Amino acid sequence: MAESGRQPPPEPLEDACPTTHNFMIPKKEINTVPDMGKWKRSQVQVGSVAYADYIGFILTLNEGVKGKKLTCEYKVSEPINKLVALLNTLDRWIDETPPMDQPSRFGNKAFRTWYAKLDQEAENLVATVIPSHLAAAVPEVALYLKESVGNSTRIDYGTGHEAAFAAFLCCLCKIGVLRVDDQIAIVFKVFNRYLEVMRKLQKTYRMEPAGSQGVWGLDDFQFLPFIWGSSQLIEHPYLEPRHFVDEKAVNENHKDYMFLECILFITEMKTGPFAEHSNQLWNISAVPSWSKVNQGLIRMYKAECLEKFPVIQHFKFGSLLPIQPVTSGR
């Protein structure tokens, strides 16, 4: 698989499912470390359909937002607006579910009340986005939405949950609800709104990072906005990677670029020198160009998220993102 992200776009975008398709509730398939072989690509480029379609989807969007500001003009379709409305509902539920008074600082138990509401309403919410002739897809797609907001037992959130939201969007593309010309809006309108809601969840309920690598990880909670955000900045006339550790540059440009919005959130949430609390990002600021940052982050995402058992053991596989291997005839 080309590390640069210049491979041909995958099948998902615009690959509308036939009405005879057998949908299924996605389930856990990776239970032991050796099971990772079913998911990862091998030396001969044969891995699971889910892996190929998921990474292809991420790279297609990466290419789609290259050099574009969040504030640029782009097409906003009806399904995109419906997805934003769905996320607005999740946001409103946070306001309706204030944190509880409890002795422990982290993991506010009110999150479980908020999550129980989503668990109960997820299919109804997803049914507002998926047209009635594809109603059979709703339970399968809704599971990825439920998986995308954090774990209600541990009250934590991490890159595996973020991957579930990307899988949710990928599935909507595979059934034809989202189209090729929705690419920019998928990232700038929907995913960006998702990030806002997740940040509010993290702050309101003091969620723990899931599987955090501490100062050696890229970020406690997210990864994809750094990939897509660095693509946005490729060939920027004056902002270079070294500028994202400059408070003035971040304050002046964060509304246009996801990467800088992520940096702003980190500096709001953490105290002390940036080089100490976010060492990995500090190192990235020394990379000479955004295209090199982008390529490096894609490699890192594969190695640290998609190919790590602690993250992928929680991923669920259904009919749209199946675990079956890619065959040469595909």
Q: pLDDT digit string (tens) for 147-172?
A: 999 999 999 999 999 999 999 999 99
Nearest alpha-carbon partner for 284 in 202, 229, 237? 229
pLDDT of 42 higher than 50: no
Looking at residue 243, what is its pLDDT? 96
pLDDT above 50 (res 283): yes
Do you know the residue count of the chain? 330
Residue-level pLDDT at 5 = 41
**Confidence bin at 306 (pLDDT 50/70/90):** very high
Cα 16 from chain centroid (whole Å): 22
Mean pLDDT calculated for residue range 90-119: 95
Confidence of residue 133 (pLDDT cuts 50, 70, 90): very high
The pLDDT of 112-125, averaged and rounded, is 98
pLDDT at 250 over 70: yes
Domains, in order of start, for the chain: 29-316 (1.20.120.1150)
pTM: 0.92
